[in-house]
Structure 1
Amino acid sequence: MNASSNFFIGIDVSKPFFDASLMAVIDHQKQSIETARFDNTADGLKAFAKWLKSFKVSMDQNTLVVIENTGIYHRLIWSFCNKKGLSLHIGNAAHIKWSFGIARGKNDKIDSIRICKYACKEADTLKASAVLNPVLMQLKDFMTSRTRLLSQINSNKQYIKELKNINDPTVQKVIEQAHRTAIEGIAQSIKDIEALINKIIAENIELKHNYDLLITVPGIGHLTAVYLISCTTNFSAKITGKQLACYAGVVPFEHSSGISIKGRNRVHHMANKELKKLFHLSALTVIQYYPEFRTYYNRKKEEGKHPMSILNAIRNKIALRVVAVVNHQKPYVNNQLIAA
């Protein structure tokens, strides 16, 4: 393949199918964009490969594929790109959307074309996403399943509680018995999933090593450590503490403009809410059990700071320590990073 030829592919993924747009750049000249739709299945990817071959797309680093992060629906394409040696960037959907500027109207084909143009325009700044790790995907799915099942238990318990004050005692007893059976079954399922999570961590050397480092950080328990590993792909991207804090939504940003808007600094609503909740629980724990953080909390409170503002600062501190122990590969002990 001519070294002066580059290919940019934008893919809009949905559950049943995906739309692909292909732009070739030959000798710095953009060619017309080709589009097609394929089933989001193994057979659909075979057809996609033949389509790329018909346009003589190079299956190497001269081709860049960009897709939006759809949670689970893009995984087949992710695996396909890894096997074919294609550079793949899995982008934040909101970031890609905002890059379009003011856009009127949309459909899957148009979105794929816009993503294709975005890939060409931002090619020099886009970083290739990590290779799909089946073990980490299993861990992430198990953690998500655990959260969903726990939510079902809480929902059932709340429903029973709401009925208790208004229901006939006889009817209430029957309902409670029926829900008790369901709750016990779900609780057992959660235990089974937790056993699988523990098995994955124990059997994988890299995961176990970072897990052991994370739980040395004050406030970071078993579930928080596992969730951090799953949502950061075991810190493979070498993120900074500030990046993790931003991702968790615990970094305050200035909110002002000229002389008319003088708002207080505040965190952004775009965040991983589950991670933010876990960091919040960690902050409550360290205030109660760690003198370093308890002293900090009391001092700031005496200075007149709002309790939630102080808690957010502690969440931020925990995020910074999490990344520090992983990046330095040293456990956290007595507010110092020391060799293991």
Structure 2
Amino acid sequence: MESKTKFFIGIDVSKPYFDASLMCVIEHQKQPIQTIRFENSIQGLKHFHDWLKKNKVALNENTLLVIENTGIYHRLLWAFCCDKKLPIHIGNSAHIKWSFGIARGKSDRIDSIRLCQYACREADSLKSTGVLDPTLLRLQDLMASRRRMLSQLNSNKTYLNELRNISDKATRQMLERVHRDAIKGLSESIAKIEAMMKKIIAENDKIKTNYGLLTSVPGIGNLTAIYLICCTNNFACGRSGKQLACYAGVVPFEHSSGISIKGRNRVSNMANKELKKMLHLCAISAIQSYPEFKGYYERKTGEGKPKMSVINAI
């Protein structure tokens, strides 16, 4: 028998604390929203749990908790919900923000109230986010660390090339020696991270299977395969192929309105730019390495198709 009481919780998460708003719906009648703030720590989550028990919040399917994806700051809360079997929806920040319509004023407390109202309004369409997977989180953290180190490595290499214009030979040689040591250290650290990721994949059968399927696709390399696994929660997030292509920013959309705007179809800027960059390089590699893709590219560009459009199709 369906419960006559529903609970909707909206939480705005930041690094030091999180603001929670609770709405109770009894026999389809909305009760006043309660708001409170807790520390974003293990101790704070204990107080949050006590607050839920005090308000007799059911830790089952009759309750829905909604938060925005904040990177690493919401992980403690996510782990808490998984441990307590509390349904949680981790939503895209932009999607949630636009659902508010015209909204004036902003604070952590107000945002939590809006998230609570959003949870109540969209409850039928929101899907619970899957259980936190420590293996995927490790891969995500390693990928993020590699990306930061790679940025530092490229920065050091660029500066090392620019040192050639320095007139003082002694200063140039000293700085070159320092930067070469930094470049060597960063290169070794990146290699260690890549080895760690391969070891993690080898020890997990589900991830290993999808990794093997991805790397069997022409042009898809090791890092792109790992990044796709991280972005899709090992393809357990329920995205279709079209949705994933849209997320990667390679799907063209119509751009026209009335008689004044007759633009050609174009991709949207709302995309995962890092994934788009990786897939773009994979497509270029496929064109250069596989005659089938090269023939397709030359045929389509010969027909007058824009080069980027053909690359996105590949």
Q: TM-score normalized by structure 1?
A: 0.90
| 1:215 to 2:215 alignment | yes
TM-score between both structures, scaled by the size of structure 2: 0.98
- Residue 147 of structure 1 corresponds to 147
User: Aligned pair in 2 of structure 1 residues 167, 97: CA closer, same or farther (>3 Å)?
Assistant: farther
What SS does the corresponding residue of 2:193 show, helix, strand or coil? helix
Q: 1:18 to 1:267 in 2, by over 3 A?
A: same
What corresponds to 1:230 in structure 2?
A: 230
1:194 equivalent in structure 2: 194
- Counterpart of 2:122? 122
* Shift of residue 191, structure 1, vs aligned partner: 1.4
CA contact (8 A) 2:24 2:32 kept: yes
CA positional deviation for 1:167? 4.0
Q: In structure 2, what is the equivalent of residue 180 of structure 1? A: 180
Number of residue pairs matched by the alignment: 314
**Partner Cα separation in structure 2 for residue 150 and residue 240 of structure 1:** 31
Q: Which residue in the other structure is 1:272 paired with?
A: 272
Q: Corresponding residue for 1:26?
A: 26
| CA distance 1:236–1:2, shift in 2 (3 Å) | closer
**Deviations 1:165-189 (Å, cap 9, x if unpaired)?**
2442221111111111111111111
**Structure 1 range deviating more: 226-235 or 159-168:** 159-168
| Identical residues among aligned pairs (%) | 65
Q: Deviations over 1:145-203 (max 9, x none)?
A: 11110110001111222232244222111111111111111111111111110110000
- The structure 1 segments of at least 4 consecutive aligned residues displaced by more than 6 Å after TM superposition are none
AA partner of residue 165 (structure 1)? N
Where does the alignment leave 5 or more consecutive residues of structure 1 unmatched?
A: 315-340
| Contact 2:5–2:62, Cα closer than 8 Å, also in 1 | yes
Distance 2:239 2:112 in 1: 29
Residue 79 (structure 1) aligns with: 79
Report what 1:206 is aligned to: 206
Deviations 1:296-335 (A, max 9, x none): 1000111112212211221xxxxxxxxxxxxxxxxxxxxx
- SS of 1:156's equivalent in the other structure is helix
Report 1:1-340 matches (<5 A). Answer: 3-314=3-314
Aligned AA for 2:109? K
How far off its partner does 1:2 sit? 8.3
Cα deviation, residue 238, structure 1: 3.1
2:84 and 2:2 mapped to 1: Cα distance?
A: 18
Give structure 2 stretches of 5+ with no counterpart.
none
Contact 2:211 2:226 in 1 (8 A): yes
Q: Residue type of the partner of 1:82?
A: C
* CA RMSD, 1 decimal: 1.2
